[in-house]
């Protein structure tokens, strides 16, 4: 239905996101102008495999014969899969950190600043409202895809367009501010790699203040590793709770069980429902503290709707 809809509309470019994996995904039935693989980590292992090599093999399934492929920062074993697959398909491979690079600049306010260099282009002082070094990586991959497409189609590369597009990027549920005073944020980190990046951003951006983290996660995720990562942050006060999962087959993890997965010497408060955790935390926070709700896209969708009285939703 998606392809039928796009075919019926007067669109110039369609950006198609893979549903799961790539090799056997239902979107993998056409030949794109550019293929993009941003990151690879441990997620959906019951379907994609238990090793990074196996997961990368599934992801690399979108690489097509002689079609350029843009790749972000990957673990070494995943990167090797991309190199081997691209070579076998004679697909030009363009990799972040090799063929194009970024340089982080001192941040100003709620944004990241960086320079981009590579693929015959140089962009200075780009800004994105998406916090986190990994969001700069994501922006760089998107810019590389833009450049690759424009070079292939001989369309002009317009610097002002690139700067404006990166600066205007919005991603609901990704380090999104729901309230300024007190500072309340949501982030859809729902697997180990995402929580690792989230923890890095918390340390870099909020390391000098107390951050209350209300955490809820689906039972089929790597919740022990996620809890260990967040619980190790010295400025984080972790509060564990649950939410109504998408269906009976994918329930949320019992927060009491999550409490037993805390790092040695650290404790976390447990709440039967996230609304109670939210209310108590808001009562205890000082004006200098911050609050983050995270662990699942389903969870933060509920929270976002609660604050905005809307019905936005995503899936893990």
pLDDT of res. 137: 96
- 271-294 pLDDT per residue, tens: 999 999 999 999 999 999 999 999
> Which regions of the chain does DSSP assign to beta strands (E)?
35-37, 69-71, 93-95, 100-105, 112-118, 121-128, 176-179, 183-187, 211-215, 236-240, 269-270, 290-294
Q: Which two tokens stand for residue 301?
A: 């969708």
- 62-120 pLDDT per residue, tens: 999 999 999 999 999 999 999 999 999 999 999 999 999 999 999 888 999 999 999 99
* Band of residue 153 on the pLDDT scale cut at 50, 70, 90: very high
Contact predicate 297/187, CB 8 Å = no
Picking from 29, 25, 75, the residue whose alpha carbon sits closest to that of residue 48 is 25
CA distance 255 to 253: 6
* Band of residue 312 on the pLDDT scale cut at 50, 70, 90: very low
> Is residue 311 scored above 50 in pLDDT?
no
> Is residue 179 scored above 80 in pLDDT?
yes
> Is residue 310 scored above 60 in pLDDT?
no
> With pLDDT > 70 as the criterion, what percentage of the chain qualifies?
97
Give the strand pairing for 211-215 and 236-240. Answer: parallel
Mean pLDDT of 300-307: 93
Q: Which residue has the higher pLDDT, 260 or 121?
A: 121
pLDDT of res. 128: 96
User: Out of 12-21, 164-173, 268-277, which region has the weakest mean confidence (pLDDT)?
Assistant: 12-21
Q: Is 49 left (phi over 0), alpha (psi -120 to 50) or beta?
A: left
Confidence (pTM): 0.87
Q: Which residue has the higher pLDDT, 249 or 150?
A: 150
DSSP 8-state symbol, 252: B
What is the average pLDDT value for the chain, to the nearest integer? 91
> Is residue 42 scored above 80 in pLDDT?
no
- 221-264 pLDDT per residue, tens: 889 999 999 999 999 999 999 998 787 778 888 888 888 888 88
Cβ atoms < 10 Å from Cβ of 172: 14
pLDDT of res. 158: 96
pLDDT of res. 313: 47
* Band of residue 316 on the pLDDT scale cut at 50, 70, 90: low
Q: Which two tokens stand for residue 103?
A: 């340089």
DSSP assignment of 20-67: SSSTT-TTTTS--S-EEE----S-SHHHH-SSHHHHHHHHGGG--TT-
* Band of residue 157 on the pLDDT scale cut at 50, 70, 90: very high
pLDDT of res. 73: 93
pLDDT of res. 246: 82
Domains of the chain: 2-167 (3.40.1190.10), 176-308 (3.90.190.20)
């Amino acid at each position: 239905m998606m392809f039928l809809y796009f075919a019926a509309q007067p669109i110039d470019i369609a950006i198609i996101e893979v549903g799961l994996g790539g090799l056997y995904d239902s979107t993998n039935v056409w030949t794109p102008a550019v293929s993009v693989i941003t990151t690879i980590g441990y997620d959906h292992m019951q379907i994609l495999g238990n090793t990074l090599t196996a997961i990368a093999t599934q992801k690399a399934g979108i690489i097509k014969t002689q079609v350029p492929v843009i790749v972000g920062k990957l673990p070494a074993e995943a990167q090797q899969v991309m190199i081997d697959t691209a070579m076998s398909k004679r697909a030009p491979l363009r990799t972040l950190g090799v063929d194009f690079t970024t340089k982080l600049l001192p941040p100003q306010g709620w944004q990241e600043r960086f320079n981009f260099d590579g693929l015959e282009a140089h962009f200075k002082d780009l800004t994105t409202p998406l916090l986190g070094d990994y969001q700069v990586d994501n922006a760089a991959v998107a810019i590389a895809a833009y450049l690759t497409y424009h070079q292939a189609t001989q369309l002009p590369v317009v610097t002002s367009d690139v700067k404006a597009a990166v600066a205007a990027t919005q991603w609901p549920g990704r380090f999104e501010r729901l309230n300024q005073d007190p500072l309340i944020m949501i982030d859809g980190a729902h697997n180990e790699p995402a929580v690792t990046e989230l923890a890095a951003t918390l340390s870099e951006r909020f390391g000098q203040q107390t951050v209350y983290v209300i955490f809820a996660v689906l039972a089929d995720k790597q919740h022990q590793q996620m809890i260990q990562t967040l619980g190790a942050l010295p400025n984080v006060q972790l509060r564990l709770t649950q939410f109504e999962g998408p269906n009976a087959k994918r329930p949320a993890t019992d927060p009491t069980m999550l409490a037993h997965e805390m790092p040695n010497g650290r404790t976390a408060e447990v709440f039967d429902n996230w609304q109670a955790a939210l209310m108590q935390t808001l009562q205890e926070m000082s004006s200098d503290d911050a609050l983050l709700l995270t662990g699942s896209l389903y969870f933060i969708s509920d929270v976002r709707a609660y604050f905005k009285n809307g019905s936005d939703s995503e899936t893990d």
